[in-house]
Structure 1
Amino acid sequence: MTKAELRIKYKEKRKNITASQKLKWDDLILINFQKIELSFINCVHTYLAAGEQNEIDTENILRYLKFINPEMLISVPKIDAVTGQLDHYIYDENLQMAINSFGIPEPLDGEKILPSAFDLILVPMLAFDSRGYRVGYGKGFYDKFLQGCRADVIKIGLSYFEPVDAIGDINEFDIPLNYCVTPQSIYQF
């Protein structure tokens, strides 16, 4: 299947997840996520879940990461509408947030951080394949962002669903994940 076909299919599958399924699956994803050795991580970039997209909630994962390393810096993105790039802001209790036009919480302003600081990136996605390639929402924000990150940055996707065999239209701009965590499994690529 192509990215466009997978996008349609997995948006529909996500829409059909019940609230109780979502809570259970978010907990199972956290349990599996905790099995990955990440105590050496000092700086994390994460997406924040768009509620209307039924995305995996990253808040419990962020609490866990702060538990294993209280000094860890956490960063969240803000879309720069002019450049189509992501800006990155340190995420703490003082950061003022607003919902953007995509329904995603993002910072109003704050202390910026450069992508070169990131040791770990939690990557939003709709689907992934057996080689670690992902299907995002089609805007290319994360494809551009990942291309500018350090080669050794760890990229982890979170998915409610198991992988497809292959995404039919992977190209040179697609960057594979290192891991994908589902309620049932941890995939390492």
Structure 2
Amino acid sequence: MTKKELRKIYKEKRAAIPSKEKLKLDDVLLINFQRLYFEDVAVLLTYWAKTDAQEPNTHLFSGFLRHSIPGLQLAYPKCDLNNYSMEALQVNEDTVYYSNQYGITEPKEGIIIEPAEIDLVFVPLLVCDNNGYRVGYGKGFYDRYLTRCRRDIIKIGFSYFDPVEKIDDKNDFDIPLDYCITPESVYEF
């Protein structure tokens, strides 16, 4: 199937998950995420899950890492909607957030963290395939950003659904995940 077809199907599937079930699935995702060990991770680029899109609760995963890795720096994306690019802004307890026109919560301001400084990134997705290629929301923010990062950056996606066999219209600019965490398993690519 194409990204467009998969995007439609998995948006509908995710929207159909009852809120009580979603809470349980988020807990299971966290348990599966806790099975991984990250050595030498000092900077995490995460994102604020869109509740209206039923995204997995990334605060659970970043919160676990903050407790596991003393001194972990957190960053959130700040998007430039004119050219579909983004920067990672360092955040702390005083950071002020707002929602952009896509409904994405991002820091209002902050210190830019250079892509080469990021060790681990949580990448939003609807579903991925058996090779780690993902179906996101179709604007390419993360694929563009990841080309600027180190080759050894760890890329993790969280999905309520197991990978599909193949995305038919994957292109040369798509960057695969290293891991996809689902309620059923931890997939390593």
Question: Fold conserved (TM > 0.5)?
Answer: yes
Alpha-carbon deviation of 1:141?
0.5
What is the CA–CA distance in structure 2 between the aligned matches of 1:150 and 1:39, rounded to whole Å?
A: 16
After the TM superposition, which parts of structure 1 deviate over 2 Å for at least 4 consecutive aligned residues? none
Aligned position for 2:108: 108
Aligned position for 1:96: 96
Structure 1: which amino acid aligns with 2:163?
A: P
Q: Name structure 2 gaps, 5 residues minimum.
A: none
Q: Percent identity?
A: 46
Q: Name structure 1 gaps, 5 residues minimum.
A: none
Aligned position for 1:44: 44
What is the CA–CA distance in structure 1 between the aligned matches of 2:61 and 2:125, rounded to whole Å?
A: 16
What is the CA–CA distance in structure 2 between the aligned matches of 1:39 and 1:176, rounded to whole Å?
A: 21
Between the two proteins, the alignment pairs up a number of residues equal to 189
Match of 1:155, SS state, is: strand
Alpha-carbon deviation of 1:80?
1.1
Alpha-carbon deviation of 1:81?
2.2
Alpha-carbon deviation of 1:2?
0.3
1:87 aligned onto 2:87: yes
Alpha-carbon deviation of 1:82?
3.0
What is the CA–CA distance in structure 2 between the aligned matches of 1:75 and 1:180, rounded to whole Å?
A: 20
1:24 aligned onto 2:24: yes
Determine if contact 1:51/1:103 at 8 Å carries over to the other structure. Answer: no
TM-score by length of 1: 0.97
Aligned position for 1:74: 74
What is the CA–CA distance in structure 2 between the aligned matches of 1:91 and 1:30, rounded to whole Å?
A: 22
Alpha-carbon deviation of 1:99?
1.1
What is the CA–CA distance in structure 1 between the aligned matches of 2:146 and 2:39, rounded to whole Å?
A: 22
TM-score by length of 2: 0.97
Determine if contact 1:128/1:134 at 8 Å carries over to the other structure. Answer: yes
